[in-house]
Structures are given as structure tokens and as C-alpha cells.
Amino acid sequence: MPDQRDAPFRPVLQDHRPPSPAFNPWLVLIPTFFGGSVAATIGTVALAQRLGLPRRAQAAMVAVGGLGLLVAGVLLHQLDVSPAAGNRLAGFAAFAVQLGFLLGPYRRWQATGQESATFLHTGLTALVIGLASNLLLVLVVRGLPGGVA
């Protein structure tokens, strides 16, 4: 029979929190195609949280997404690239960098054999917010069509 002195050190079932099921990181490319670097950042940071990545890594991923948004704005303003092409290019570049943070932890999670989570809600959220941010970026960089009188 366990001693009372050992009671604080016994494992308690409520203390054990299994890792959240992850989704395939490559699915993030779908909202990234339409929503650019903002959509890529939402999807990859959501996966990073599920995988339990440290806050520093998540902050770095957000910084990469912000840099991607800045690059999209520069492409739109300086090079007069179409908004869709600039956002996609910046989004795919941001995703490629963010993927570097995720692949190792995702492969370790895959080895556990758990069933994958659905990406539907996260993907739709990333898509809607990404599209809204792209529209806002175009309005900020190019202004309203016909100007404001």
C-alpha cells in the first residue's frame, strides 16, 4: 500500500493531457492559394499549437507571415503585380518557411499513430480572414477604384 508521503508524486489520470490531434500541414496550401500569407499563418500557427510548439516558434511563424504580407504589399505597389499573384507568391514563400518549424514535430506526432484532425474549420477561418486581409491590402495600396471624392 502506498505511503502518504508518496501521495503528491503519484500520477493522477486527470493530470495527463494527450496531445491534440494534428492535421496534415500540406492542407494549409489550400487556403494559402486564395488567402496568401495571412491564411498560411493562421493554418500553420493553429497546427503549431496542436503540436505543442513553443511560443517563440509560434511568434517566429507569425513574424514570417507578417513579412509575407509586407512582401505582397511591395509587389503590389512597386512592381504592379496583380493582387492575386502577389498574395499567392508571398503566401507560398511564407508557408515554405513556416513549414520548416512544423515538419519535425509533425513527423513525431505521426509516429504516435493517432487519427488526424479535420482541417475544415481552421481552413475556412484561414480562407475568410486571408481573403479579407488581401482585399484590405489592395485597398490600402491602390486605393478605392475611381478615387474618393
- This prediction has a pTM of 0.82
Give the tens place of pLDDT for each residue, 49-72.
Answer: 999 999 999 999 999 999 999 999
Give the tens place of pLDDT for each residue, 78-95.
Answer: 887 888 899 999 999 999
**Distant-in-sequence, close-in-space partners of 19: CB < 8 Å, separation ≥ 6:** 50, 51, 52, 109, 112, 114
